[in-house]
Structures are given as structure tokens and as C-alpha cells.
Structure 1
Amino acid sequence: MKSIDTPIPLYYKLKQEIIRMIEDEEVNADELIPSERDMMEKYDISRTTVRKAIDVLVNEGYLYKIHGKGTYVKGKKFAQGLLKLTSCTEMLRSKGFDPISKVLKYDVFTPSKRIIHHMNLDNKDKVFYTERVNLIEGTPINYTKSYIPYKYVPSIENFNFNNNSIYKTLSKVYKIDIIGTNRTVEAVLPSEELAKALDVSLNLPLLKFNGWVYGKHDNDKILVEYFKTYYRSDRSKFYMDFVE
């Protein structure tokens, strides 16, 4: 039986042309690709064809979209071990990145009953609370909400944690050594607040981690921190190592 030649769809031809542009570095990581209108005029194709090619390349990991700004070439992702405990800033530096950590909010207060339950605190216990974002080359990577029992870290609010590790301060100043963690992970859609902070669209899934960090203080095991971290799924990936 002879094969039947099937015409190549226009969107597929455009897709291959965009891949060629990326491979030949005509457009580099985190740079805008040509606009829909430019491609429509240059290749004499419809907007529907352009959008289909772009959507396929987004799904295949070549491109990413920023709402209201355009479509960009996806840069390299950073990889983090799920089983290895380290601060995000330290992990990014170990991968060769030069991250910036910004504290957006901080306070000392008595948390909600839900947080008290998560941390097994007494009703009158206070926490040191921070909201911070990590950026690589100006691009937000993750957003963290952190709760630390204040009874273990009095006056910690006087430290500057912009680009400084909280875990190092816990070790050096408060003599709390981190010994382990429990984490859960799930895919969620961002709220408007998170979408703005991470500079993503409302339909880009985020990887949400809930974490409980444990430490040793005066030879006692204590819960050091409860956190919620939201990672951009288009800029990060995670792996697990099993060593016998």
C-alpha cells in the first residue's frame, strides 16, 4: 500500500520556525518572541494559526506567557531536591544562580486558630511572620509565607532578612540547629495577590508546598517553622534521590 502524503498544517510550520529561531538564538531566554500581528503579516497566516502554534510551544515547554505583556522564550529551570533540606536562597546559589530575596511583609502576632493547630501552639503563643519572594535575574521564582514560634526567637524582627538566610540566623544567634522537615506538595491556581507577586497569569498552575521544619534547641526537638511556598511551575522542577 502506498503512503498518502498529508499536507503539513500551517500552525506546525510556524511552530518549527519558532523553534528554529530559538535554537539559532535569534531570540534568547526570557526575550519576547515576535508579536502575533508581526507573525501574521510576515507569514501571511491567521491569528488562529499563530495562537495554536504558540499554545503548543507553551505546552511543550519552549515558551511562557505573561498576562498583558506577551510571550517569551523559556529560560532554564532551576532544580531542587524534594528530600534535601536547605534554604531556597542557598539552594539557588549552589546551582550557580545569583538570587535576590525580598521581604515584602513581616510582623509578630498571635496567628489564626488554623495556624495554631498546624503548629501545635498554645492559644496565646505569638509567631514571627514573613512574606518574601525570591527572584532570579529580576524574575520572581517563588513566594513564601513563613511562621516561626516567637518564644524561641525573641527580637528576631530586628534582623534584616533581605538576601540573608533565616536558617543561618536561627543557628548562629538562637542556637537552633535544623534537623528535618515534612513537606506536602500540590498544584494550585494563583490568587490575584500571588499572580501579581509572581508576575504570572491567573491560569498558570503553581506548585504549593506546605512545610514543617524541625530543629534541636537545648537538646529538645522543636517545630521551628511552618511555611507555605508557591513556586512558578514554568520556572522550576523538583526531583527525588533514593540512596540505599
Structure 2
Amino acid sequence: MYRNIAQDIIKSIITEEYQTKLPTEKVLMERFDASRNTIRKAIDVVFRHGLLRRVQGSGNFIIKQPQNNTVLNLSIGFDQAAMVAGGPLVSKVVTFDKLKADAALAKRGNIEVGTELYRVIRLRYLKDTLYSLEESYFPRTVVPFLSEDSVHHSIFAFLREAYGVVGSTTENYVHQVRLNAERAKLVGAPTGDKTMCLDGINYLTNGTVFNFSSTFFVYDDLELYYHTENIDLQE
């Protein structure tokens, strides 16, 4: 329940219903008919998404997101970051099929060779401008079915609603790569052009991989924003 509340709060922040700070815990408890513990867990999720700054004794203040198409907030994910930039992202599906992981895919996704996967390759557009090329894989042991409709929209939202699949941890690696001929053709760039790539692996709480992907960003002058929480190791 707290994750659904967190998503509602995030939406309220993105749409600027909450502009300066969150309402008090008591107000949120009444709004969502939830316990204080549930509200606190939801706020923790929103905080980890890089949308809040906690001030002891004063409350949870909204971190203003850059209103700029070229800034990608890795803390809240591509789709929600695009909403901040005036999205949403619109998808054009290039490939939607099933295959078994070869050695290269198994290494990329931290899975066993031969694991049956859903593969989704899609171009994503922001305000009619090509934003990224996304190659995603979903082990069918965790995701037995993906619908045609889901791959044209938010796949993670579909997984959350259909299977209750919610990621626990994510490993991200940002690096520059040169486009091979196939990818270059899809994005309309010369073969060998450099682009920023984000490789990600998403895990469930039990450590099982439910998704891994490579996203190649082709949006001009893209910048990265990331929120971290400092921890005093001496405590």
C-alpha cells in the first residue's frame, strides 16, 4: 500500500500540487486513510527518488526539479523524469519477442545461460523528438507474460499492477559507447557515433533479476542529475 501512496505523492509533486513542502504526516494519513507508519514508509520512497529534502523539525521540502528537457533525473526513472520535462515519453516498439539468453546476455543480466526472456526494443520520443533507444529483457520465470499494450507504455507499471513486481535495488552503469550499424540505423546516426549508454539491472527483494536493459540516449546535450543520501559511517 505504501508504494501506491508514494506514487501518488510523486505525481502530486511532479504536477506541482505540492510546490514547497509536503503536507504534515497527519494530513497525509487523513488523505490516504493510512497509518502513520505507512505514510512514513511512503515518504521514505519519495525521498529516495530524490524529490524531498528533510529538515529536522520543519518537515519535508520539495526539491525543485530542473524544468529542462536535457536534464535526466536518474533518481526517479526515465518516464517520471520525462514528465518533469513536459513528457510523457512515447514509445515506438521495434522488436517484441522471446529468446533464450546466450553467454553475452547472461553476463549482462547476471542470469543463467539459456534463461528464457522477453525482449523489448523500442524508440522513445519526448515531444516528438527522439530521446533514446531502449533494449530491455525480462526473465519469464519472474515475468511470465507481457502484453502488447504494456510494451507501448510503462512496462514497470504493468508489472506492478499485474504481478505486484516492485524493484528493490538497481545497479546502473553509465558509459559512452559507439553505435553499431543496427543501432545507428534505428536512431538515424552514423555508424560509430558515440552516445551515452545506461546499463541497468533491476532486482527483487530476494535478489532475483526481473529486468535488465541498455538505454542509448540520443537527445542533444543531455545532462544527468542524481540524488544520494549521505550516511555517517562513524555512527
Per the TM alignment, residue 222 of structure 1 is displaced from its structure 2 partner at its CA by 1.7
Match of 2:111 in 1: 121
- Specify the alignment match of 2:137 in structure 1: 147
Q: How does 1:84-123 map to 2 (within 5 A)?
A: 84-86=75-77, 88-123=78-113
2:127 corresponding residue in structure 1: 137
Q: Label 1:151 to 1:243 Cα distance change in 2 as closer, same or farther (>3 A).
A: closer
Q: 1:80 aligns with which of 72, 80, 91?
A: 72
Q: CA deviation at 1:205?
A: 2.2
- Could you tell me which residue of structure 1 aligns to residue 63 of structure 2? none
Return closer, same or farther for 1:101/1:89 CA change in 2, 3 Å cut-off: farther
Q: CA deviation at 1:187?
A: 1.2
Equivalent position amino acid for 1:147 in 2: Y
Give TM-score, length-normalised by structure 1.
0.60
Structure 1 residues 132-175: Cα deviation after superposition (integer angstroms, max 9, x where no partner): 1111232211001111111111122x332354111111111111
Match of 2:162 in 1: 173
Deviation at 1:81, TM superposition (A): 2.5
CA RMSD of aligned residues (A): 2.2
Answer yes or no: is 1:224 the counterpart of 2:216: no
Q: What TM-score, normalized by structure 2, do the two folds share? A: 0.62
Identity %: 18
**1:170-212, CA deviations, whole angstroms, 9 ceiling, x for partnerless residues?**
1111111112211111112222322222223446420011111
Where do 5+ consecutive residues of structure 1 fail to align? 1-75
In the alignment, structure 2 segments of 5+ residues that lack a partner are 1-67, 231-235
Paired letter, 1:130: V
1:62 maps to which residue? none
Please state whether the residue corresponding to 1:221 is helix, strand or coil. coil
1:70-116 deviation line (CA, Å, top 9, x unaligned): xxxxxx6431123x142x23321232224211211011121211212
- Highest CA radius of gyration, 1 or 2? 1
Task: Verify the 8 A CA contact 1:140 1:199 in the aligned structure 2.
Answer: no
**Cα distance change on mapping 1:98 and 1:191 into 2, 3 Å:** same
1:10-43, Cα deviation, whole Å (9 max, x unpaired): xxxxxxxxxxxxxxxxxxxxxxxxxxxxxxxxxx
In the comparison of the two structures, how many residue pairs are matched? 163
Change (3 A) 1:118 1:213: same
